[in-house]
């Protein structure tokens, strides 16, 4: 065997070993990512808030959460944040799906925005519901939609609601029922839910009624409750036992 033949064989062997190592490395990386995703416990957070009267461009709110989502994706690279931000003319409904760590970061951001003295993008945020271990995600990615006045003018179901007669539990169930319908309809593709099935989204009046209910925790109160598990408020516990709430 000539010296040149030996060089070719050696070069071929090295190239093959290098490719095998790359394949093994890629496989190990994939396995690591898969295991990290399997360790993530999915949770779903629903929050509402009022919009300031002087908020001229509501897309600023969507841009803020796009930046936050990007920052969280770098901090928790294996944890995908999905959901939908509905920006009504005078309030918002935000549904976020991710791990506990990501949702706590979202609540912390809400708390910080609430304490801003000027230039705030939202006011009086409230936690409507926190679902632990939902069976699956409702959304494939995170996105937002700015709703115009004509899109919410006909507030479905609003005529059946009376401010003083509807309980907080009933109002919360109205929002959660919309999520149940969304799950069953299999229309969780961003950009199509409101346009095709407006009855699936809570009316603006329902959200305003909820914003007036003191039973709902603020982001700061929710974080305090999380950090102090031995000092838990129980006055809203009756609502959590509702069959409507436990099936979402």
User: For 3-14, how does the pLDDT look when each residue is reduced to its tens digit (9 = 90+)?
Assistant: 555 555 555 455
Give SS3 for 198.
helix
Helix (H) or strand (E) holding 31: helix 3-39
- The CATH number of 41-246 is 3.30.70.100
| 8 A C-beta contact, residue 129 and residue 240 | no
* Cα–Cα distance measured from residue 224 to residue 71, given in angstroms and rounded to the nearest whole number: 24
Asked whether residue 153 carries a pLDDT value surpassing 80, the answer given is no
CB atoms within 10 A of CB 111: 17
Residues 6+ apart with CB under 8 A from 105: 68, 72, 75
- Which is more confident, 72 or 162? 72
Element (H, E) at 195: helix 193-196
> pLDDT at position 172, please?
94
**Radius of gyration of the CA atoms of the chain, in A:** 24
By the 8 A CB rule, do 143 and 191 touch? yes
Higher pLDDT, 241 or 1: 1
């Amino acid at each position: 065997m000539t010296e040149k033949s030996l060089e070719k064989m050696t070069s071929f062997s090295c190239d093959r070993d290098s490719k095998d190592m790359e394949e093994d490395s890629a496989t190990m990386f994939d396995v690591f990512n898969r295991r990290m995703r399997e360790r993530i416990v999915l949770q779903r957070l629903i929050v509402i808030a009022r919009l300031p009267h002087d908020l001229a461009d509501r897309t600023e709110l969507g841009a803020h959460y796009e930046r936050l989502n990007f920052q969280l994706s770098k901090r928790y690279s294996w944890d995908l944040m999905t959901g939908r931000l509905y920006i009504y003319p005078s309030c918002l409904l935000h549904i976020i799906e991710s791990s506990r760590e990501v949702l706590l970061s979202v609540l912390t951001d809400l708390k910080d925005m609430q304490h801003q003295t000027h230039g705030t993008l939202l006011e009086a945020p409230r936690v409507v519901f926190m679902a632990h271990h939902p069976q699956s995600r409702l959304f494939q990615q995170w996105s937002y939609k700015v709703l115009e006045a004509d899109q919410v003018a006909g507030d479905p179901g609003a005529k059946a609601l009376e401010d003083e007669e509807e309980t907080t539990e009933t109002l919360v169930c109205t929002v959660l029922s919309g999520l149940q319908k969304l799950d069953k309809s299999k229309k969780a593709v961003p950009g199509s839910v409101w346009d095709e099935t407006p009855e699936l989204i809570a009316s603006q009046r329902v959200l305003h009624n909820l914003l007036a209910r003191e039973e709902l925790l603020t982001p700061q109160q929710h974080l305090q409750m999380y950090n102090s598990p031995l000092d838990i408020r129980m006055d809203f516990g009756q609502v959590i036992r509702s069959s409507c709430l436990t099936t979402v």
